[in-house]
Amino acid sequence: MIERTPILNFFTHLAMLFGLVLAALPIYIVFVASSHDFQTVNQVPMPLLPGDSLVENYTKVWNKSDFGTKFVNSFIVATGVTIGKIAIAAISAFSIVFFNYRLKMFCFWLIFVTLMLPLEVRIVPTYAVAANALSPVQGFLNAVFNAPATLLGLIGVGNLPQVAIALPEWNLLNSYTGLILPLVATATGTFLYRQFFMTIPAELVEAARMDGAGPLRFFRDVLLPLSKTNMAALATIMFVYAWNQYLWPLLITTRPEMTTATMQLQKLVPGPLFGQPPVWNEAMAGTLIVMLPPLLVVIFMQGYFVRGLIAADK
């Protein structure tokens, strides 16, 4: 579609400009709102040019909300989720693509259907597991050990005593492990990796075998370096995804020193509680602060990101 038609060029630019305005205008308004003092921002209509309280608002909201601690928490969680997702996705795709075993396709589809079960859908059971990580194991063991008794009870033979196995309680609430682990499994990432691994020529695998490299060596020396752009694309998406997590951290953290930046943001946008008007200038300043890290990640990674998603480079 490379044509030299000035009219078409004009219209494509117009369309792009329209898109840009659509995307950037709200952010501009947020910026303007964050630069005015309390009185100005609550005027109707709100001024559309930046005011002079920018630095004051940002310092105030940073200190008031303890964003220092929240940012550290958010960084730990987002980085942990990103690394975990990449590691799990790469290794499970490696297994699915390069090994032959029974139920291989079944495993793949099992991973794939989890796309239809996002965290929001399975939040209650996930919370139950996070509250006591060993409870599924405990339930399973009890079911197995009591199976004979249950079966006999069904056909009406005797009243055998039931065994009750109690494992120690392992609580993940209010911990980084609890914030990270339930978000680590990723069907999207596994699928992305699988598609990439399938483009690796069979002869390359065979060459490595002839060179004496075992599967893990091949994975480390050949597959991982070759999937660098893939990894960058996945890292970008997943970092933003993890940073923006709201529901899960809200559910499992109760102690203020464990909450994340996104959760804190919600506390900045209160409804007119007790008859007080909302402090929009501070809320908007907080919004821009919280938006910044994912924005920077996307800006720095976008080169890799695009390459990783469109095609395998040579």
Cα separation, 277 vs 273, whole angstroms: 8
Told to check if 311 binds other proteins by CB under 8 A, we report: no
CA distances (Å), origin 93, targets 150, 186, 262: 40, 11, 31
End-to-end CA distance of the chain: 25
Q: How far is residue 206 CA from its own chain's centroid? A: 36
Nearer to other proteins, 30 or 200 (CB): 200
* Cβ 94 to other proteins shortest distance, Å: 17
**Judged by CB under 8 A, which stretch of 217-225, 237-245, 285-293, 303-311 contacts other proteins?**
217-225
**Amino acid letter at 30?**
V
**Judged by CB under 8 A, which stretch of 21-29, 123-131, 199-207, 256-264 contacts other proteins?**
199-207
Told to check if 211 binds other proteins by CB under 8 A, we report: yes
* Cβ 212 to other proteins shortest distance, Å: 4
Told to check if 221 binds other proteins by CB under 8 A, we report: yes
Told to check if 217 binds other proteins by CB under 8 A, we report: yes
Told to check if 307 binds other proteins by CB under 8 A, we report: no
Tokens of 148: 């004979």
Told to check if 169 binds other proteins by CB under 8 A, we report: no
Nearer to other proteins, 154 or 202 (CB): 202
Told to check if 101 binds other proteins by CB under 8 A, we report: no
How wide is the angle at C-alpha 99 spanned by C-alphas 96 and 103, nearest 5°?
60
Q: Which residues of 34-43 are buried (b: 16+ CB within 10 A; e: fewer)?
A: bbbeeeebee
As a whole number of angstroms, the longest Cα–Cα distance in the chain is 90
Residues that bind other proteins (CB under 8 A): 201, 203-204, 206-213, 217, 221-222, 225-226, 314
